[in-house]
Structure formats: structure tokens, C-alpha cells
A and B are shown apart, each in its own frame.
Chain A
Amino acid sequence: MMLEHILVLSAYLFSIGIYGLITSRNMVRALMCLELILNAVNINFLKGNIFSIFVIAIAAAEASIGSAIVSSIYRNRKSTRINQSTLLNK
């Protein structure tokens, strides 16, 4: 009963995270939704509980790289909208 609740919960968090990742215009919110997705996957993998430690480590590494990228983008462009990088269109 508990395990099934957790699986459905992780599926719900995953879908909310994907929705937020796709439809957010702010980069930081997109990164936080990515963390939500990783959390949902982490809950889903906990039935065999060795792998979740690696998921946590990868989430930490990706969080640091993501925030470094966002901060350097902000330093260059002075804004955090996602749809501002249209340089390839020109």
C-alpha cells in the first residue's frame, strides 16, 4: 500500500516537473523543476536502494554545473529569460 502510493507520487512529481521545465520562462525555475524531476526518479528507484545514492550525487553535480551556467549567462546578458537566446536565428 505504501509502495504504490510512493510510485504514483513519483509519477505525479515527474509530470509536474516536466510541465514546469517546459513552460517556465525563468531559468532558475527551470532548474528547480529539473531537481523535482530528479527527486521523483530518486523516489522511484528506492525499491533497490543502492542506486538512489548515485542519483543524489549526480543531482548535486548537475545542480552545481547548472547554477554556474545560469550565473554566467546572467552575467553576460543581464536577464534570465529562456527565450532570449535567438542569436542562431540571424
Chain B
Amino acid sequence: MILSVLSSLVLVSGLMVVRAKNPVHSVLFPILVFCDTSGLLLLLGLDFSAMIFPVVHIGAIAVSFLFVVMMFHIQIAEIHEEVLRYLPVSGIIGLIFWWEMFFILDNETIPLLPTQRNTTSLRYTVYAVKVRSWTNLETLGNLLYTYYFVWFLVPSLILLVAMIGAIVLTMHRTTHGAVKRQDVFRRNAISFRRTIMRRTTDPITR
């Protein structure tokens, strides 16, 4: 029941992202999608990914997009005059895409589609879980930090490049003169014995 509630919320919110008139709403609805996706991941039993999803997707990505949207004066009402112009050709292409998907999808993995014959999926028990069951975090850490540590280090470099790129892209001409820089030699010439003094009385608490 929870699965159907969360799934229907995902469906409706995904549609409302496209059809919302206010662009601020079209930034708020993916937040709902990410929440419901995190709930669906909890139902799948992936607890680590379900906890990472709100932190990264809502807390970082959606918040940054919200900043971008709030900074602009975006016109609220878009005139939807051109939406139906592409509908015949795109509808046919979309239907062909859906029809091809039924060829690719296997019958045993997706029994709820109309291409299913009467087959039951196999259930098997994993006995290694009963001996010592690892948490999701432990299995991830066992692989990610030991054998595949390069995979872990390269996204950190990618994020560093993204950070530098975002700063470089948005630094425009008027901040060239006002950017505070450090003089390296002056910074090295400071000796702490002359700059740090010891207070004997505390002015805040007596």
C-alpha cells in the first residue's frame, strides 16, 4: 500500500514539474519526487542510498536551484500556445518507443506488463545473510575504499572541477578589483609572537 502511495506521488509530481505554470513550482515538485524516491529506496531495502538521496538531492541540488530561481525575475505565466504543435509527430514517436520497450523488457522480470505469460518468478533464500548480515554501508565501504578506491577518488576530482568551474563562470568583471587576495610573502613573514597576545581579563563574562 505504501508502495502504491509513493509511486503515485512520484507519478503526479513528475508530471507537475513539466506542467506547472510558475517556475518556482517546477523547482519545488522535484523535491517531492526526491522524497518519494527516497521512500521507495527504503522499501527496496537500500537504507544507505535512501539516506543519501535527501541529503544530496534535496539539500544540495534542489536548494541551489531554488537559489537560482529566486534570484531571477522570471515571468510567471507562460503561454502554452506551441505545446500541441508537436503532439501528432511526437505522439507517434512516443508510442513507437513504448511499443519497442515491450520487446526489450523480459517477461519474467516484469510480470505486470501485458506481455506476460503465466510464469511465476523464482524465490530463493540467501543463506549468507543469516550467518552474518552486513549493513548496506558495510558492503559499500568494503568495495569502495579497498578495491575500487580510484572510482572513489575520481568523483572527488570531478566535484572539485565543478566547484572551480561554477566560481569561474559566475565571476564577472566588477568583482575583479574587489576580490581579496593574499600576499603570500607577507603571509609567510608574520610571526605569531608579535600578533597573538594573551588576555588576562575576559570582557564578555566577568
Binding site for B on A (CB under 8 A): 1-9, 11-13, 15-17, 19-20, 23-26, 28-29, 31-33, 35-36, 39, 42-43, 46, 49-50, 52-54, 56-65, 67-72, 74-75, 80
Q: With A46-B46, A57-B158, A67-B68 given, is the CB distance from A36 to B33 under 8 Å?
A: yes
Is there an interface contact between B110 and A60, defined as CB atoms closer than 8 Å? no
In this complex, what residue of A is CB-closest to B50?
A46
Contact of A67 among B11, B14, B64, B159 (CB under 8 A): B64
Q: With A49-B49, A61-B158, A70-B68 given, is the CB distance from A3 to B109 under 8 Å?
A: yes
Is there an interface contact between B14 and A17, defined as CB atoms closer than 8 Å? yes
Is there an interface contact between A46 and B159, defined as CB atoms closer than 8 Å? no
Q: Which residues of A contact B143 (CB under 8 A)?
A: 50
| Whole-angstrom CA separation of A25 from B151 in the bound complex | 37
Is there an interface contact between A2 and B44, defined as CB atoms closer than 8 Å? yes
Q: Which residues of B contact A46 (CB under 8 A)?
A: 41, 44, 46, 49
Q: Which residues of A contact B155 (CB under 8 A)?
A: 53-54, 57-58
Q: Which residues of A contact B5 (CB under 8 A)?
A: none
| Whole-angstrom CA separation of A10 from B65 in the bound complex | 22
User: From residue B108, how far is it (CB to closest CB) to chain A in Å?
Assistant: 10
| Whole-angstrom CA separation of A5 from B140 in the bound complex | 25
In this complex, what residue of A is CB-closest to B97?
A15
| Whole-angstrom CA separation of A53 from B52 in the bound complex | 8
Is there an interface contact between B111 and A39, defined as CB atoms closer than 8 Å? no
Q: Which residues of A contact B172 (CB under 8 A)?
A: 72, 75
Grouping DSSP codes into helix (H, G, I), strand (E, B) and loop, the B interface class, with mixed when no group exceeds half, is helix
Is there an interface contact between B159 and A4, defined as CB atoms closer than 8 Å? no
Q: With A50-B144, A67-B64 given, is the CB distance from A9 to B111 under 8 Å?
A: no
In this complex, what residue of A is CB-closest to B14?
A16
Is there an interface contact between A15 and B94, defined as CB atoms closer than 8 Å? yes
Contact of A35 among B41, B61, B68 (CB under 8 A): B61
Q: Which residues of B contact A68 (CB under 8 A)?
A: 165-166, 169-170
User: From residue B136, how far is it (CB to closest CB) to chain A in Å?
Assistant: 7
User: From residue A9, how far is it (CB to closest CB) to chain B in Å?
Assistant: 6
Q: Which residues of B contact A19 (CB under 8 A)?
A: 18
Is there an interface contact between A4 and B110, defined as CB atoms closer than 8 Å? yes
Q: Which residues of A contact B44 (CB under 8 A)?
A: 2-3, 6, 46
Q: Which residues of A contact B18 (CB under 8 A)?
A: 16, 19-20, 23-24, 29, 33
Q: Which residues of A contact B170 (CB under 8 A)?
A: 68, 71-72
Q: Which residues of A contact B68 (CB under 8 A)?
A: 28, 67, 70-71
Q: With A4-B110, A53-B140, A67-B64 given, is the CB distance from A36 to B162 under 8 Å?
A: no
Given contacts A5-B112, A75-B172, 13 further A-B contacts (CB under 8 A): A3-B44, A15-B94, A26-B26, A31-B65, A35-B61, A39-B37, A46-B41, A49-B136, A52-B49, A53-B144, A61-B161, A65-B162, A67-B68
